[in-house]
Structure 1
Amino acid sequence: MIAPSGWTFLSNHGHVLVSLAADPDARIRDVADRVGITERAVQTIVGDLEAAGYVVRERVGRRNRYTVVPRGRFRHPLEQHVRVGDFLALVLGAGDPPPPPGPA
């Protein structure tokens, strides 16, 4: 899904990482649909993330399971103090209370 204005704060690498953290058993096709890029692009990004140590791929039967390594740090000097796990907790809302009932 592409943002209406054409740009987002995260790169496709960030979107794929968030998607895999949210659903470790997701198929490449599902991640591609969520992020709004091709399956080939997701495969390349997953390879990059794996090579850099941010993601571990485990074969489970005929599928893959992806585990995000939470202790990794962002690569850019401006954000290298941020751990991937802390970022994902923020983005995925881990530990946040459920929203109150009623109209949004």
Structure 2
Amino acid sequence: MGAVPEPHSGWTFLTNHARVLAAIADDPATRIRDIAARCRLTERAVQKIVSDLEQGGYLSHTRQGRSNTYRIEAGTILRHPAESGLAVAELLSLLAQHDAGQGDGTRQLESAPPQARGPETGR
């Protein structure tokens, strides 16, 4: 397991559901305890989130002895209407690129046309 991030207060861009799903995508045989530590959540919260994800069709699991192996249903479409048509695999792919240090998004912002970045001020 990698380094656990420092606690954070205030709002964030990703939900706990997205964080848990990303942790499972990183290691499908991971334990609830390890997900909780990585995501800075309680084990009970992670169990609830995993249950939500399974009920929503994003995740399934198979029991292997005393452990679970998770399977992400990659083609499942994200729930919010603003992301209609975006599959969970596409979101996880972006997160995996970031985790691998391949894409922090700055290049895309720098090369975006001015209207995509918002109005320029002071000119």
Please state which band the TM-score falls in when normalised by the shorter chain: 0.7 to 0.9
Task: Give yes or no for contact 2:7–2:40 (8 Å, CA) kept in 1.
Answer: no
Unaligned 5+ segments in structure 1 are 100-104
> Matches of 1:86 and 1:12 in 2, distance apart?
18
Where does residue 85 of structure 1 map in the other structure? 89
Unaligned 5+ segments in structure 2 are 104-123
Where in structure 2 are the equivalents of 1:33-44 lying within 5 Å? 33-44=37-48
Task: Give yes or no for contact 1:25–1:65 (8 Å, CA) kept in 2.
Answer: yes
> Matches of 2:101 and 2:15 in 1, distance apart?
28
Provide TM-score, normalisation by structure 1. 0.84
Residue deviations 1:40-75, cap 9 Å, x none?
Answer: 000000000001110011111210011111001110
Task: Give yes or no for contact 1:16–1:35 (8 Å, CA) kept in 2.
Answer: yes
Q: 2:63 corresponds to which letter in structure 1?
A: R
In proportion to residue count, which structure has more helix?
A: 2
Runs ≥4 in structure 1, deviation > 6 angstroms? 96-99
For the pair shown, which has the larger CA radius of gyration, 1 or 2?
2
Where does residue 6 of structure 1 map in the other structure? 10
Residues 2 and 83 (structure 1), Cα distance of their counterparts in 2 relative to 1, 3 Å cut = farther
Identity %: 45
> Matches of 1:80 and 1:98 in 2, distance apart?
26
> Matches of 1:40 and 1:86 in 2, distance apart?
28
